[in-house]
């Protein structure tokens, strides 16, 4: 190897060493772990306690089902809302543009614990503002933390609130990369604003929308903070337990690292598969 290259690698080596020790090695080691029974010492090679168990574990299927439910409802709803928000943020009529953009982006910056605490207060069954409002307009109050469906919708609302602005900013940058004279040309051709949106804006936004979908799918697959902090570790009775939470429970509460590793690999594989499906559906057919 040439001397210059060696020097370059010399400078890179501190990073490469840390990267290998704390990133590469855990990935490899956890794959190895996923074949070990780790319920009691000594750890022994026994994939039936990990990979076979995952196919039979009803708790895993419950977590998977919950995660897919969130994915199927929350991701499309959020990307839709984010698109609407981005179009509004892009409006010429908007004042205090910078402030409003920051306001929608702010939830991402706020600490998870703080936002979870506020959501718990707002949705508190007896004195939360949400139930108070529902009662004020003549509806009955909802037991957000004890009713499985209500708890699930609470998680979906929380996650959507937190990430919709972030996605809107990404979509906004996509909107702004569309040349304005394309719209002028369409206006001169008597193409209505609605037609412009569906025939020009949406098709040109497709790569950005696919990106948002993929990002959100990966996020949902790893969803942990909201069910952990807002609905009391996936309650009621595991109704909001996600794969991320299930992984945490197996790994760090039961200290069953072999099984947790197998779950982690399953989550990663599912995320890749669903993202690939997304990209395939949203591919450029032209």
Partner 1 sequence: MASVSINQVTKQFGAVSVIRGANLHVEDGELVVFVGPSGCGKSTLLRMIAGLEDISSGDIHIGDTMVNDIEPGDRGVAMVFQSYALYPHMSVQQNMSFGLRMNGNEKADTERRVQTAAKVLQLKPLLARLPKQLSGGQRQRVAIGRAIVREPQVFLFDEPLSNLDAELRVQMRVEIARLHKELQATMIYVTHDQTEAMTLADRIVVLRDGLIEQVGSPLELYHNPANAFVAGFIGSPRINFFTGVATEYAEGHQLVQLSGRGSAVAKVATTEALPSGTLIKVGVRPEHFEIGGACGFPIKVDVVEQLGSVSYLYADTTSEYPLIVARQDDGDHRSDELTISIRAGKALLFGADGNRLR
Binding residues for partner 1 (CB under 8 A): 179, 181-182, 184-192, 195, 199-200, 203-204, 286
Residues 6+ apart with CB under 8 A from 131: 123, 124, 125, 141, 142, 144
Give the shortest CB-183-to-partner 1 separation in angstroms.
9
Q: Which C-beta is closer to partner 1: that of 133 or that of 187?
A: 187
Give the shortest CB-193-to-partner 1 separation in angstroms.
11
Q: Which C-beta is closer to partner 1: that of 72 or that of 182?
A: 182
CA–CA distance, 163 with 92 (Å, rounded to integer): 24
CA–CA distance, 279 with 271 (Å, rounded to integer): 12
Give the shortest CB-92-to-partner 1 separation in angstroms.
13
Q: What are the distances in angstroms from CA 255 to CA 59, 248, 261?
A: 16, 9, 11
CA–CA distance, 132 with 134 (Å, rounded to integer): 5
Give the shortest CB-176-to-partner 1 separation in angstroms.
15
Q: Which C-beta is closer to partner 1: that of 97 or that of 199?
A: 199
* Cα angle 266, 164, 77; round to 5: 70
Q: Which C-beta is closer to partner 1: that of 58 or that of 91?
A: 91
Give the shortest CB-186-to-partner 1 separation in angstroms.
7
Q: Which C-beta is closer to partner 1: that of 174 or that of 258?
A: 174
């Amino acid at each position: 190897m040439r001397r210059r290259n060696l020097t370059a690698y010399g400078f890179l080596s501190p990073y490469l060493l840390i990267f290998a020790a704390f990133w590469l090695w855990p990935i490899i080691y956890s794959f190895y772990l996923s074949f070990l029974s780790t319920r009691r010492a000594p750890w022994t090679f026994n994939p039936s306690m990990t990979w076979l168990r995952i196919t039979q574990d009803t708790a895993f299927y419950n977590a998977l089902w919950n995660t897919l439910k969130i994915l199927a409802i929350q991701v499309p709803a959020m990307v839709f809302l984010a698109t609407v928000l981005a179009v509004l943020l892009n409006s010429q009529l908007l004042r205090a543009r910078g402030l409003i953009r920051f306001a929608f982006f702010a939830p991402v910056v706020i600490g998870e614990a703080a936002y979870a605490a506020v959501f718990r207060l707002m949705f508190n069954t007896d004195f939360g503002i949400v139930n108070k409002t529902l009662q004020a307009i003549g509806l009955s109050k909802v037991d957000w933390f004890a009713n499985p469906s209500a708890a699930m919708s609470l998680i979906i609302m929380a996650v959507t609130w937190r990430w919709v602005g972030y996605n809107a900013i990404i979509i906004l940058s996509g909107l702004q990369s569309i040349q304005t004279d394309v719209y002028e040309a369409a206006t001169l051709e008597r193409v209505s604003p609605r037609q412009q949106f569906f025939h020009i804006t949406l098709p040109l936004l497709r790569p950005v929308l696919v990106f948002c979908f993929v990002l959100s799918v990966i996020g949902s697959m790893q969803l942990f903070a909201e069910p952990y902090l807002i609905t009391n570790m996936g309650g009621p009775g595991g109704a909001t337990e996600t794969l991320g939470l299930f992984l945490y429970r197996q790994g760090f509460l039961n200290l069953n690292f072999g099984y947790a590793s197998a779950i982690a690999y399953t989550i990663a594989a599912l995320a890749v598969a669903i993202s690939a499906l997304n990209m395939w559906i949203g591919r450029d057919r032209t």
